[in-house]
Every structure is written in structure tokens, then in C-alpha cells.
Amino acid sequence: MAEDNNWEKDVLERIATEGLKEQKRSRRWGIFFKLLTFAYLFIAMMLFYPSTDLQEGVKAGKKHTALVNLKGIIAPGTEASADNIITGLRDAFEHKDTAGVILRINSPGGSPVQSGYIYDEILRLREKYPAIPMHAVITDICASGGYYVAAAAEKIFADQASIVGSVGVRMDNFGVVEAMKKLGIERRTLTAGENKALLDPFSPVDPKVTQHMQSLLDNIHNQFINAIKQGRGDRLKEVEGMFSGLIWTGDQSVELGLVDELASSSQVARDIIGAERIVDFTVQPDFFERFSKGISAQLADLLFEKMLLPQLK
């Protein structure tokens, strides 16, 4: 009887061992096919992803309107950084078949420094290439630093529902002094320089520091206002609150002289510049950057679907 039991035990062990081996084989094949699928998708994207060549589609000898998109926050490292926008504008002006340049803006603003770089470069390019008209076309929004940039253009166009303006400067901060008192927390900071820790949210407000920072903001604000006045000239119809941070629609902006006319990019290319065919000179991220962003977006969607959606049911 003992031998019979051992025989049954051996058979069960063999079956279990074979089952484990089969699972390992299945897992290996699963990983192999997943890697194969990933490689296939990667190659397919390299073959069929739109080219980043700025000159693609440009036919020699045929005049075109060059387009540069300024989209999103104007800041270093973004699509709307000064480096990207200036590079696109230079390429657009330097192409021998460019009849005119459109800077299409959809931005809430951003860094005054980056905006100032773009503004100054537009003025330089317009002076260097006086025969090439350069216009700004506003889509959804052109506020703050976005309008700073637009003011350097020869003319500004917008849609009747575009949001325009917000001529002002802001600096955000917060304070937790009272909360620290309630929690019994003591702040200890060592500095070399009495104002080195200015705007420290863990310290009480210093009126002298506040006054100094306000003068700094006022100075930048005046730079902004002067740039707009220089760019718009006598077209600007100053009203109360124009430089206070208020915003207006495209319709209202025409009346105020913030915008010249209502028109889209295609209308400006066709009716103002006279070269209906538009060629995009916007600086694009390279393939691997776009690929990684695409993968990140897919992973984010997957996480949202798997982790967040069940909690909403």
C-alpha cells in the first residue's frame, strides 16, 4: 500500500512540475510577443510619424506665407520658449520664397523676459527684412506676455471672440505665520544679508520688502506698457483700465486699437499677404521626444482608466 501511495505522489509531483514549466514557457512567450509588438509599433511610428523637417512641402520658386505657432505658456523649456519661437521666425524670414510671416498666438502669457526676447527679435527681423510683412494672428487667447509679443508685429488680427489684453505683472506668494503660531512651530533662518530671505512665507510681512517688490513689479509693468505703446503707436485708443490687467474680446479690442482687424490666419495669408499657401516653420520636438510624450500620455490614460474610474462608479 505504501508503494502505491508513493507512486501516486510521484505522479502528482510530475504533473505539478510540468504545469510550472508550462506556465514559465507561456510567460516567456507572452513577454516575447509583447516586446515584438512594441518593436513593431516603434518602427511603424518612425516610418509614418509626420516629419519634423521645417522645409517639408516648400516648393522652390513658389511664394508662400510662413507660419510660426506660439502656443501655451511662454517660458524656458516649453514649446513657446523664446529659443523655439525665435528660431522659427528666423527660418521663416530667411527662406527665399517667404512672401510674409504670420505669428499665430494662443497663449495666456508667461515670462516677461522670454516675451521681451521675442518682442525684440521681431523688431530686428522686421527691420532686416522690410519687404516681408509680419503679422500676429490671435486665436483663443492672447494675454499678458502673449500680447507683449503680438505688439511687435506690423498688424494684429483676431477673432471676434478672442480674449485679448491682461496688460499687467503679477508675483504670487503665501503666508503661514498664523498657522505656525497655532501649531507652536518656531521658524529659524540664518542669512548673510538682511533681505536674503525676502518673501519668506514662514516669516511676517516686512513693509519695506513689500514696497521694494512692488517697485520691481511696477518697473516691469512700465516696460510692458512702453513696448505696447511703441508697437501700436497712434492706433492705440487708451481708456481707463487698459493697462490694469483687464481683458477684452476681439471685437472690443478692435475698437480700442489693441487689434487691427478681425481675420483668421488663412484670411491674412490670402487677402493681406497675397500668398494663400501656408508653410509651417514652427520648431517641432524631435521624434524621440514626441514618442516619449505619446507613451507618457498613453500610460496616464491607462492609469486613469484602471485606477480612477472605478472610484467614480
238-266: pLDDT as tens digits: 999 999 999 999 999 999 999 999 999 99
Mean pLDDT of the chain: 84
Looking at the fold, whether 144 and 246 belong to one and the same domain comes out as yes
pLDDT greater than 60 at residue 163: yes
Say whether both 166 and 249 belong to one domain. yes
Q: Both 140 and 102 in a single domain?
A: yes
Same domain, 114 and 204: yes
Same domain, yes or no, for 71 and 150?
yes
Is pLDDT at 52 greater than 90 in this prediction? no
In a domain, 243, yes or no: yes
- 103-118 mean pLDDT: 97
Closest CA to 273 of 5, 24, 35, 64: 64
Angstrom distance (rounded) from CA 250 to CA 234? 19
Per-residue pLDDT tens over the stretch 269-295: 999 999 999 999 999 876 555 555 555
Residues 17 and 158 in one domain: no
| Residue 200 DSSP code | -
HSE, CB side, 13 Å, CA atoms: give it for residue 175: 9
Residues 137 and 97 in one domain: yes
Note whether residue 106 is domain-resident. yes
CB atoms within 10 A of CB 149: 31
Question: Cα–Cα distance between 237 and 246 in angstroms, integer?
Answer: 15
301 in a structural domain: no
The predicted model gives 115-119 an average pLDDT of 98
End-to-end CA distance of the chain: 58
Sign of the CA dihedral running 136, 142, 148, 149: negative
Among 22-36, 101-115, 171-185, 205-219, whose mean pLDDT is lowest?
22-36
Confidence label for 74 from pLDDT (cuts 50, 70 and 90): very high
- Gap between the Cα atoms of 227 and 112, Å rounded: 11
What's 165's domain CATH number?
A: 3.90.226.10
Q: Which grid cell sits at 216?
A: 520691481
Query: Could you tell me the residue range of the domain that residue 19 belongs to?
Result: 1-48
pLDDT above 60 (res 49): no
Rounded Cα distance, 54 and 88, in Å? 9
Shared domain for 125 and 19, answered yes or no, is: no
Q: Is residue 99 part of a domain?
A: yes
- Calpha distance 35→31 (Å, rounded): 6
Domain annotation covers residue 56: no
Q: Domain check: are 34 and 110 in the same one?
A: no
Say if 306 falls within a structural domain. no
For the ranges 15-24, 37-46, 208-217, 272-281, the maximum mean pLDDT occurs at: 272-281
> What's the rounded Cα separation, in Å, for the pair 77 and 304?
27
Q: Are residues 68 and 43 in the same domain?
A: no
Considering the domain boundaries, does residue 98 fall inside one?
yes
Residue type, 256: L
Distance CA 214, CA 170 (A): 10
Q: Of 78-87, 193-202, 299-308, which gets the smallest average pLDDT?
A: 299-308
| pLDDT number for residue 45 | 53
Q: Is residue 68 part of a domain?
A: yes
Q: Specify whether 230 is located in the same domain as 127.
A: yes
Same domain, 214 and 167: yes
The dihedrals phi and psi of 154, each to the nearest 5 degrees, come to -65, -45
Collapse the DSSP code of 226 into the 3-class scheme (helix H, G, I; strand E, B; otherwise coil) and give the result: helix
Q: What is the pLDDT of residue 30?
A: 66
To the nearest whole percent, how much of the chain has pLDDT over 70? Answer: 74
Query: Would you give the DSSP letter of residue 203?
Result: S
| Sequence-distant (≥ 6) Cβ neighbours of residue 263 within 8 angstroms | 137, 157, 158, 271, 272
How many domains is the chain built from? 2
The CA distance from 313 to 306, in Å, is 12
**pLDDT(312) > 60:** no
